[in-house]
Structure 1
C-alpha cells in the first residue's frame, strides 16, 4: 500500500478498496461479496478511511441528507458503515475515525449528524446521545378487512417517481425527525439489500394519493410476511385503500410489517388493538454546530421566548460557552453570550433539540441544570411529536 497518504480521507487504490470491503464484511458479519457490492454502491468518494502506519484500520460512510424538525429541513449527515479491522480493535481507532469524520462534516456545514449505534460508549465519547426511536409495527393481514376500493392501485412506473418523492417530502416535513432523503436512502427503499421491492401507487381522479414499496419474505410452510420499505398516504380514502390492498395478501401473508414511530396513524383505523409495536433502535444525534442547528429548525407557531444556554463540548471549542436563543414566529435566532441559565453538554442538547426527552426529564437524571422557569420555557420551545425515523442507513 502506498505510503504518504493523509491519515483520513477517501479510500485510494484497489488494495485500500478491498480493505474497506473486508473490514465491513467482518464488522457486519456479511459475505465479502455483499460488502464489496455495498462499497461499490456507496461510491468511493463518499467513503472515509483511517490510515495508521500506511494501513487502513477503520472505515465510515457519511451520507448527506436532511432531517425535519418543527416543519423545517435541517442539513444532516447520517453515519453508516463504521467498522474497525480486527487487528486494530481496542486501540482507539474508532474514536479517532469518528473525530476526523465529525471535524470534516462540521467544516462542510452540517449542523447535525445521526447514526444507529452498534455500541453507545464509542459514540457518546464522540458527543452523540439518544435522540429518537425507530419502531417495528406488525399487523395481522386478516385484520386488514377494509372494503375501500374506490381508488386504483397499480404498479409504479418510472414516470411516477417524481410525484412519489414529492409526496414523501410533503409527508415527511410534518413528521418530527423524518429524513429528507438523498439518493442513497431512496435506493434503500427501492432496492433493499438482498431483497426485491415492488412499488405500487394509489391513484384517484386528482392524481397520486399514496404509494407503497413492499417486499415479500418467505416464511415457513409457503407462508409470507409482507414488509413495507416505505409507504405514504395523503388522504383518508387512500389510507383505507392501501390497507385493503395489503389485506388482499392474507391468503399467503400472515403479517404486514413496517417501521416508523410509536403510534402510526394507520393503526387508528383498525378495529381492534391486535397489532404489535416494538422498539428496534434508539438512534443517536450529534450537534456539530450549536448556533446553526438551533437556527435551522422550526419552532411552534405563536410561541416566543428567550432561552439562555451554556453548552460544553470536548471536541469543538466553537460550541462551548453561552448562547442566547430568541424564538418568535416559528423561527430561532442565536447570539453569543447571555445568562447561561440552562447548563448542559452537547450530548444532552441532542434529545432536547429533537424533543425526544423533555427538559424536566433531562434535569431529573442530571443531564442539565436549570431553574423551573427556564425548564418550562425550554419545554414550550422544543415541544412537538416524538421524533422517529423509519429509515435505516
Structure 2
C-alpha cells in the first residue's frame, strides 16, 4: 500500500461501524462491534474536548486506521501547558505491517505543529515504535502491594466520610489546588469530572475532613483474587492530599480497614514517602512465592512504565515551562527531529523563565547542546538530567560547563505523574 493513497480526515457518523470494528480488535477483542459502539462511542465520535480522526485508503475505499485527539491542560509547577493527548490508535488487522500507523501519527504531529501545540502525550502500546517518532518515556507509576496492618499508626484527628454528590465541588477544588503544585497532573474539564464521578461496582470515594475543610480523598476499589485467600483486596486508584494532615488521615483510614482486606495496593509517584513509613518493608505475596528478591533484599514494590511526551512547538514549550532559580545563562540547542526536521535554537534563561528563538548560526554560542527531540522531551519533563544523558552519551555538550550546571538547576523538578489515562 502506497502512502499516496492514504488520506486523514475527521471521522463522520457513517464511519462508526468501521471505527468500532478497528477499536474492538485492537483493545477489546472479546466484545462485539455493537458493544463497542455503545460503550466507547455512545456519546458520539466528536465531543467538545475530543476529536476522532480516520485514515482512508482510496485504493480500497475504506477506513483503515483511526485515532483520537484529546484537548489537555497539563499542570507544571504552578503553570499550565496546553497539550494534545493521542489515544485509541488502531489499524485494521488486514492492513497492518504497512506503516500506516507511522504515517498516521506523522500527520498528527504535523497538525499539532500547525496549531503551535507545545507537546503531545500518549500511553504507548510499544515504547520503541513511539520513540522512533520522537516521543520520550517520562511517566512512572509506583505500586506497593502491602499488608494493611503495616501501614503507619497516626492519631485520628479529623473525620472520614463517603463523598456524596454534594461534596463533588470540594473534591474538584482540592484536586485542582494540588494538581497545580505538581508536574504532569491533568486539569480535568467538567465533562471529565462528570465521567470520573460515575459510580462503578466495587469502588468507593472517601474524604478526610477537618471540620468543613476537605484535606484529602481516596478512590478505593475492591477486588477478589483467590490466590490471596478469601479476604478481598483494596486497590487505591487515586489519592490526593492537601497537606500532611490529609495524607496521614488517608493512611489512618486505610489502616482501620486491615481486618477486612488481606492486601492493600497503593499506587503513587516517585516522590511519595509511603514505602519509608511502613512498619514492615515487605510486599504481600501469594502462597509459594519467594519474598526475597536478591540476597537479603525483600520484595516491596514495582515500577510501571507509564505515559510518553513529545515536544512539538519547541519555542512554545520552552517558554511556557517554569524553571528553578539559577544564575542567568544562554546556550544554543541543536535539536534532531526526524519528523519535523532539525532545528537550532538560542535559549536565554533569566528570572524564572526561558526564552527561545530560532538561531541561524552557532558561531557565537558559549555552549551548544546537541540532542534528539526525544531527549529534549525527557529533559523538559524533568525525568532525567543533562548530566545523566551526557554520562550515557545520549546527548552531546560543547562549551562552558558552568552553563551545564545552570541548565540542570533550571530544569530540576520531580518527574511528571498523572492519575488519568486514555
Q: Provide the residue aligned with 1:23 in structure 2.
A: 22
> What is residue 383 of structure 1 aligned with on the other side?
412
Give the number of aligned pairs.
385
State the Cα deviation string for residues 111-169 of structure 1 (Å, max 9, x = none).
Answer: 11111211123212322122232222323212236353321111212232222122112
Using the alignment, how far apart are the partners of 1:354 and 1:23 within structure 2?
Answer: 33
Aligned equivalent of 1:226: 234
**Residue number in structure 1 paired with 2:222:** 216
5+ residue gaps, structure 2: 1-5, 284-299
Q: Which residue does the alignment assign to 2:208?
A: 202
How has the CA–CA distance of structure 1 residues 255 and 106 changed in structure 2, closer, same or farther, with 3 Å as cutoff? Answer: farther
Offset at residue 188 of structure 1 (A): 6.4
C-alpha deviations, 1:288-344, integer Å up to 9, x for none? 100000011110035432232111223224xx4221222222222112225371111
How far 1:176 sits from its partner (Å)? Answer: 2.4
**What residue is the counterpart of 2:3 in the other structure?**
none
Which of the residues 348, 353, 370 maps onto 1:343? 370
TM alignment of 1:74-223, pairs within 5 A: 74-144=81-151, 146-182=153-189, 186=193, 189-191=196-198, 195-220=201-226, 221-223=229-231
Whether the 8 Å CA contact 1:185–1:391 is kept in 2: the answer is no
Q: CA deviation at 1:38?
A: 1.9
User: In 1, distance between residues paired with 2:258 and 2:55?
Assistant: 49
Aligned residues of 2:205 and 2:218 also touching (Cα < 8 A) = yes
User: In the alignment, is residue 304 of structure 1 matched against residue 320 of structure 2?
Assistant: no
Cα distance in 1, alignment partners of residues 192 and 384 from structure 2:
27
The answer on whether the counterparts of 1:239 and 1:266 sit within 8 Å (CA) in structure 2 is no
In 2, Cα distance between the equivalents of 1:232 and 1:288? Answer: 31
Note the aligned Cα RMSD (angstroms).
2.6
Aligned mates of 1:195, 1:282 — CA distance in 2: 25
Kept after mapping to 1: 8 A contact 2:119/2:309:
yes
Deviation (angstroms), 1:281: 1.3
How many angstroms apart in 2 are the aligned matches of 1:269 and 1:13? Answer: 53
Q: 1:233 to 1:102 in 2, by over 3 A?
A: same
1:51, 1:278 → 2: CA distance? 41
Contact 1:68 1:297 in 2 (8 A): no
Q: Give the corresponding residue for 1:7.
A: 7
Larger CA deviation: 159-168 vs 347-356: 159-168
2:36 alignment partner in structure 1? 35
Structure 1 residue 225: deviation in Å? 1.6
1:290 aligns with 2:314: yes
1:256 aligns with 2:270: no
Matched, 1:356 2:383: yes
Measured after TM superposition, the shift of residue 257 of structure 1 is: 1.9
Instruction: Please tell me whether Structure 1 or Structure 2 has the larger radius of gyration of its CA atoms.
Output: 2
- Residues 355 and 383, structure 1, Cα contact 8 Å, conserved in 2: yes
Are the structure 2 counterparts of residues 195 and 301 from structure 1 closer, same or farther at C-alpha, using a change threshold of 3 Å?
Answer: farther
Counterpart CA distance in 1 for 2:162 and 2:372 is: 49
Q: 1:267 to 1:391 in 2, by over 3 A?
A: farther
Compared CA separation, residues 182 and 335, structure 1 to 2 (3 A): same
> 1:206/1:267 Cα in 2 relative to 1: closer, same or farther (>3 Å)?
farther
Which 5+ residue runs of structure 1 have no aligned equivalent?
A: 1-5
Name the structure 2 match of 1:333. 355
SS in 2 for 1:7: strand
TM-score (norm 1): 0.89
3-state SS of paired residue (1:209): strand
Q: Is the 8 A contact 2:13 2:45 kept in 1?
A: no
Tell me how far apart the structure 1 counterparts of residues 44 and 223 of structure 2 sit (CA, whole Å): 25
* Aligned CA distance change for structure 1 residues 34 and 222 (closer, same or farther; 3 Å): farther
Q: Secondary structure, in 3 states, of the residue corresponding to 1:81?
A: strand
